[in-house]
A = this chain, B = another copy of it.
């Protein structure tokens, strides 16, 4: 299977790439590293990327940053950071990628725990993750030719210690569980599903 991994140098993405590379053809893409350069904030960059790649069987996105900060300091400008990165970055990967993906292929995007279990200072990502989950549910009933779409919603991951102070009382989840959630989405048969790793 020809699998694109966006964000393959990130905390989670590198483990997902490692788990899949022995049995599949992996193409990595990211803003600073990978087989291809890709700025997910720019629709033109995403379109050029797919034109270069041609057809593919699966796309996994583990990309996506947002803005952290107290609600009282949020405004339109810093809220757009998460919209342009994690939200529209991932949604545009699907909107463009749907024209290049092979029949019975799949998209797997990343949501996160703060949608359904919010923490202080993460309202931007709570909204962004909600948008991703709503989009996945809707896209699943419209994608043509047997193409599937799912999402993984990890809790705070054991490898991301710098985030622990923002997640009091959250039990860090095992990286191996998170990796398997992505594999379930790609090699399984579900569509429109959010796999929560908690």
Q: In the complex, what distance in Å separates the CA atom of A71 from the CA atom of B142?
A: 6
Does any Cβ of B come within 8 Å of A108's Cβ? no
Say yes or no: is A152 at the interface (Cβ < 8 Å to chain B): no
Complex Cα–Cα for A196 and B150 (A): 24
Label chain A's interface by main secondary structure: helix
Residue A156 lies at the interface, judged by CB distance under 8 Å to chain B: no
Which of A74, A122, A131, A143 has most B Cβ within 10 Å? A131
Supposing A95-B74, A98-B71 touch, asked if A118 and B131 sit within 8 A by C-beta, the answer is: no
A135 contacts the other chain (CB 8 A): yes
A137 touches B126 (CB 8 A): yes
Which residues 116-146 of A have a CB within 8 angstroms of B? 116, 118-123, 126-135, 137-144
- 18 examples of A-B residue contacts, CB within 8 angstroms: A71-B95, A72-B98, A72-B99, A75-B96, A76-B92, A79-B88, A83-B83, A114-B134, A115-B134, A118-B137, A118-B138, A118-B140, A120-B141, A122-B138, A127-B138, A128-B131, A129-B134, A130-B134
> Which A residues are within 8 Å of any B CB, using their own CB?
43, 70-72, 74-76, 79-80, 83, 87-88, 91-92, 95-96, 98-99, 114-116, 118-123, 126-135, 137-144
